[in-house]
Chain A
Amino acid sequence: MTAASTEPVPAPPTDADAALLSVERLGVSFPATSGETHVVKDVTLSISRGETLGLVGESGSGKSMTLRALLGLVPSPGRVVEGEARWSGTTDLLALGERSRRNMRGKEIAMIFQDPLESLDPVFSIGYQIAEVLKAHGGLSRSQARARSIELLDRVGIPAPDERLRAYAHQLSGGMRQRVVIALAIACAPTLLLADEPTTALDVTIQAQILNLLADLRDESGMAMVIVSHDLAVVAQTCDRIAVMYAGRVVETGTTAQVLEAPRHPYTAALLASQPGPAAAGTRLETIPGQPPQMTDLPPGCAFAPRCAFARPDCARVSMVLDRSSREHATACPMVEAHEVARYRRSM
Chain B
Amino acid sequence: MSTVIEGRTGTAVIGRVGTSGRRIAGLAQNTLWIGVGMLAVLVLASLIGPAFLPKPDSQDLFPTLTGPSAAHPFGTDDLGRDVLSRTLSATWVDLGIGLVTTYVSLTIGIVVGSLAGYLGGWVQRIIMRLSDVVIAFPFIVLVIAIVAIIGPGAKGVIVGLIVGGWAFYARFSRAEMLSLREKPFIMAAQTLGYSRRRIILRHALPNVIRPGVVYSFSDVVLNILYIAALTYLGLGVQPPTPEWGAIIASGRNFLLTAWWITTLPGLVIVFVGLAFAFIGDGLADRLRVQREAR
* Residues of A bordering B, CB below 8 Å: 71, 73, 75-76, 102-107, 109-115, 117-124, 132-133, 136-137, 170, 181, 184-185, 194
Q: Are A104 and B191 in contact (CB under 8 A)?
A: no
Q: Is B192 part of the binding interface, using a Cβ–Cβ cutoff of 8 Å?
A: yes
Cross-chain contact B192 with A181 (CB below 8 angstroms): no
Which residues of the other chain, A, contact B194 by a CB distance below 8 angstroms? 102, 106, 132, 136
Is there contact, CB below 8 Å, between A120 and B187?
A: no
B187, B202, B203, B294: the one contacting A113 at CB < 8 Å is B187
Q: A76-B120, A170-B294 are in contact. Are A115 and B184 (CB under 8 A)?
A: yes
In the docked arrangement, what's the CA distance between A263 and B280, Å?
A: 62
Q: 4 closest A-B pairs (Cβ-Cβ)?
A: A106-B193, A105-B193, A170-B294, A111-B191
Contact: B195 with A106, CB < 8 Å?
A: no
Contacts from B to A (Cβ < 8 Å)? 120, 182-185, 187-195, 198, 202-203, 206-207, 293-294
Contact of A120 among B182, B185, B191 (CB under 8 A): B185
Q: Which chain A residues border B198 with CB–CB below 8 Å?
A: 136
Q: Is the CB of A181 within 8 A of B293?
A: no
Chain B binding site: helix, strand, loop or mixed by DSSP?
helix
Give complex CA distance A215, B206 in Å.
35
The residue from B120, B183, B293 contacting A118, defined by CB atoms under 8 A apart: B183
Taking CB atoms, residues of chain B closer than 8 Å to A112 are 188
Residue among A75, A109, A122 with the highest chain B CB neighbour number at 10 A: A122
Query: Is A102 a contact partner of B203 (Cβ separation < 8 A)?
Result: no
* Structural contact, A118 and B192, CB atoms closer than 8 A: no
Give the residue of B183, B184, B192, B202 whose beta carbon is less than 8 angstroms from that of A184: B192
Known contacts A122-B294, A170-B293, A105 near B188 by CB under 8 Å: no
A119 with B184, Cβ < 8 A, contacts A76-B120, A136-B198 known:
yes
Contact B188 A184 (CB under 8 A): yes
Instruction: Give the chain A neighbours of B195 by CB distance below 8 A.
Output: 102
Q: Which residues of B contact A137 (CB under 8 A)?
A: 193
Within 8 Å CB of A133, what residues of B? 192
- When the two chains form their complex, are residues B191 and A106 in contact, meaning their CB atoms are under 8 A apart? yes
What 18 new A-B contacts, CB under 8 Å, besides A119-B187, A124-B206?
A: A73-B190, A76-B120, A102-B193, A102-B195, A105-B192, A105-B193, A106-B193, A110-B192, A111-B191, A112-B188, A113-B187, A119-B188, A120-B185, A121-B185, A122-B185, A123-B206, A124-B203, A185-B192
How far is A311 from B263 in the complex, measured between Cα atoms in Å?
Answer: 86
Q: Which of B192, B194, B203 has the most CB of A within 10 A?
A: B192
Pair B185/A136 contact, Cβ less than 8 Å = no
Q: Is there an interface contact between B206 and A106, defined as CB atoms closer than 8 Å? A: no
Counting chain A CB atoms within 10 Å of each CB, the highest count among B190, B195, B206 belongs to B190
- Residues on B with C-beta less than 8 A from A136 are 192-194, 198
Minimal beta-carbon separation of B283 from chain A (angstroms):
15
CB of B185 within 8 A of CB of A118, answer: yes
Nearest A residue to B209 via CB reads A123
Q: Does the CB pair B184–A118 fall under 8 Å?
A: yes
Ordered by A's residue number, 19 sampled pairs between the chains whose C-beta atoms are within 8 Å are A71-B190, A73-B190, A76-B120, A104-B193, A112-B188, A113-B187, A117-B294, A118-B183, A119-B184, A119-B185, A119-B187, A120-B185, A121-B207, A122-B207, A132-B194, A132-B202, A170-B293, A181-B188, A185-B192
Candidates B182, B183, B191, B294; contact of A110 at CB < 8 Å: B191
Is A107 in contact with B188, judged by CB distance below 8 angstroms?
Answer: no
Complex: how many Å from CA A111 to CA B189? 10
Cα(A110)–Cα(B206), bound, Å? 24
Q: For residue B188, which residues in chain A have a CB less than 8 angstroms away from its CB?
A: 111-113, 119-120, 181, 184
Smallest CB gap from B194: residue in A: A136
Q: Which residues of B contact A103 (CB under 8 A)?
A: 193
Q: CB-nearest residue of chain A relative to B207?
A: A123
B187→A73 contact, CB < 8 A? yes
CB distance from A249 to the nearest CB of B (A): 24
Smallest distance from the beta carbon of B14 to chain A beta carbons, Å? 15
Complex CA gap A109/B190 in Å reads: 11
Bound: A54/B173 CA distance, A: 40
Contact A121 B193 (CB under 8 A): no
A123 CB contacts on chain B under 8 angstroms: 206-207
Residues from chain B with Cβ under 8 Å of A105 in the complex: 190-193
A77 — nearest CB in chain B belongs to which residue? B120
Residues of A within 8 A of B193 (CB): 102-107, 136-137
Please give, as numbers and ranges, the residues of chain A lying within 8 Å of B190 by CB-CB distance.
Answer: 71, 73, 105
Closest to B294 in A: A170
Minimum distance in angstroms from B115 CB to a CB of chain A: 16
Residues of A within 8 A of B294 (CB): 117, 122, 170
Residue of B nearest to A184 (CB): B192
Residues from chain A with a CB closer than 8 A to the CB of B182 are 75
User: A72 — nearest CB in chain B belongs to which residue?
Assistant: B190
Most buried by A among B120, B198, B203: B203
Residues of A within 8 A of B293 (CB): 170
Contacts of A109 in B (CB 8 A): 191
Instruction: From B120, B191, B203, give the contact of A121 (CB < 8 A).
Output: B203
CA distance A75 to B186 in the complex (A): 12
Contacts of B202 on A, CB cut-off 8 Å? 132
- Minimum CB distance partner of A68 in chain B: B187
Residues in B neighbouring A73, C-beta threshold 8 A: 187, 190-191
A59 and B193 CA atoms in complex are apart in Å by 27
Per the bound structure, the CA–CA distance linking A58 and B55 in Å amounts to 79
For the complex, give the distance between the alpha carbons of A184 and B190 in Å: 12
Chain B minimum-CB-distance residue to A98: B196
A102 — which chain B residues lie within 8 A by C-beta? 193-195
Name the residue on A nearest B192 (C-beta): A106
Q: Which residues of B contact A71 (CB under 8 A)?
A: 190-191
Smallest CB gap from B196: residue in A: A98
Cα of A132 to Cα of B206 in the assembled complex, Å: 15
> Whole-angstrom distance from the CB of A132 to the nearest CB of chain B?
8
Residues of B within 8 Å of A185, CB to CB, are 191-192
